[in-house]
Amino acid sequence: MIDQNISPKAHLSFSEDGWILIYQGSPLCDYKATHEEVMRVAAKYRITLPPVTWNGDRMEWVRTDTIKEVAP
């Protein structure tokens, strides 16, 4: 179970709008269509991301590796 009260400095968020990189509460890019695209933005800023992503549709944190697009 993921603690839903966490607030990482940087994290990914996804919803039906796409993927976005958030840093200290502000977006660092426009919505991207894929996880791969948003990870390029994270690499550009040299940001290390936590293993959780905000699911904006469900309004909860989820493990990033359980998201269908990302799962191995």
Give CA angle at 42 (53, 55), nearest 5°: 15
Q: pLDDT per position in the chain (72 positions), as tens?
A: 778 888 889 999 999 999 999 999 999 999 999 999 999 999 999 999 999 999 999 999 999 998 888 866
As a whole number of angstroms, the distance between CA 37 and CA 9 comes to: 20
Is-above-0.85 flag for pTM? yes
